[in-house]
Structure formats: C-alpha cells, structure tokens
Amino acid sequence: AAVRADVRIVAASNANLHELAQRGEFRHDLMYRLNVMILRMPPLRDRGDDIVLLVDHFLRRFSAQYWGPLRVLAPACIPALLQYRWPGNVRELENLVHREFLMADAPIVRLDPADAQSGAAAPSRADALAAFASLELGQGLARAKAAMIVAFERTFILRAITETNGNVSAAARRCGKERRSFGRLLKKHGIDKSLGALAEPTRRYSG
C-alpha cells in the first residue's frame, strides 16, 4: 500500500547546476524540481568576520565535547586567518581548530593557517597526552580519563594517516588495525584520509 509523506528536500551543490544541465551532465527535470528557492553561500574567504565567529563556535563546541574549560582565540592570529584563502572552506577551518584545541596547553589558542594548508600539526603522542592531561585536571578522574582516551586515539590515528600521506592501508598496518576497522576510526573522529577538507557547497536548492 502507498504511504503518504510530507517532506521538504534541501539539496546542496558546489557546481552550477544550470550549466551542467545545459551540457547534458545534469537532468533538466530534476533541476527544475529542485529550483524552488536558491540560497547562494559565498566561500569562507569572502565572509570576513564570519571566520572569527566560526572559530569561537568551534572552540565552544570542542570544550563541551571534551569536558574542558573554554578556550579563546589569540587576537594576534586574526589577521592571518582573514588573509588566508581557505580552499577547503568551513571544514578546513573546523579541522584546524580541532587539532589546535587538542594540542593547546593554555586557555588561549593560536591558529596558524599554514598548519591548515600543510595538514600537519601532529605532535608526538607524549606531547598530546601531556597537553590534554593539563586541560582535564580538576574535571574528575573518570571524565578526564575518558577524554584523554578519545584525544589520544584521535591524535594517534591522525599522526598515522599524516605520516603515510593518506594511505589508509599503510596507516592501518602501522596502528595494528584491519583496514576496515581503521576506516571506521577515521569516520568516528571525522578525519579525512587526505587531511584536506572538501569544499563546502556554494549553492543550495530547496523545494
């Protein structure tokens, strides 16, 4: 029997669907069905002070996620963040903030766009644990232990995937894990195997 549903569809694309349809690479009928309202989202590099607001948002989110004290962005970092082109858009910024949050050992976080471009920022595991132990002191043993395990695991696999240049099989072997199991860890911690963020959609279609 047929089941009636009342839904709204939101579709996103970083390509010009009209141009794709003209070239026969996207169905005209589907484009017209989606093309009820268009919201164009400019790339992060064109959104100026949104960068600082997003950094603050991510720092607050990671503080809650890891039961840690609130950290703030060092004001001296702002000019470089605004000048950087952010080819990976918001996801690239989020990954940079995440890495630096885990590595920070002070209330003020310093962000260097060069780290986002290189995909580096993977200090030694001992450094990561020491920094996170400092972050979690006073939070209670159980919570501190759980948060440190999460941070250690993410730092460990981030280092493995970085040092193997995104080769998942090689990184899995270095971690003593099966490839499929290691892939689940990458997904769990939101780590792109290329350490490069995918471009955020620049156009949104809804209907």
Rounded CA separation 135/130 (Å): 9
The arrangement of strands across the sheet holding 10-13 comes to: 10-13, 203-206, 37-40
Q: Are residues 110 and 167 in the same domain?
A: yes
Rounded CA separation 198/90 (Å): 9
For 181-205, the pLDDT digits (tens) are 898 888 887 777 654 332 233 333 3
Rounded CA separation 182/197 (Å): 19
* Residue 106 pLDDT > 80: no
Give the angle subtended at the CA of 195 by the CAs of 190 and 200, to the nearest 5°: 70
The total number of structural domains in the chain stands at 2
Mean pLDDT of 119-132: 46
Tell whether pTM > 0.85.
Answer: no
Amino acid letter at 37?
A: M
Mean pLDDT of 105-113: 82
| pLDDT score at 160 | 79
Q: Are residues 75 and 132 in the same domain?
A: yes
**What mean pLDDT, rounded, does the chain reach?**
77
DSSP state of 25: S
Rounded CA separation 99/92 (Å): 11
For 152-184, the pLDDT digits (tens) are 787 678 777 777 777 889 888 988 889 998 988
Q: Is residue 2 part of a domain?
A: no
DSSP state of 17: H
For 13-56, the pLDDT digits (tens) are 888 888 999 999 999 999 888 888 888 888 898 888 789 889 98
| pLDDT score at 167 | 86
| pLDDT score at 24 | 92
* Residue 87 pLDDT > 90: no
Structural domain span for residue 72: 44-188
Rg of the chain on CA atoms, in Å = 20
For 137-152, the pLDDT digits (tens) are 555 677 766 766 776 7
Q: Are residues 63 and 142 in the same domain?
A: yes
Q: Is residue 1 part of a domain?
A: no
| pLDDT score at 20 | 92
Q: Is residue 109 part of a domain?
A: yes
| pLDDT score at 198 | 29
Q: Are residues 102 and 24 in the same domain?
A: no
User: What would the two tokens of residue 125 be?
Assistant: 């595991």
Q: Are residues 112 and 151 in the same domain?
A: yes
For 58-71, the pLDDT digits (tens) are 998 888 887 777 78
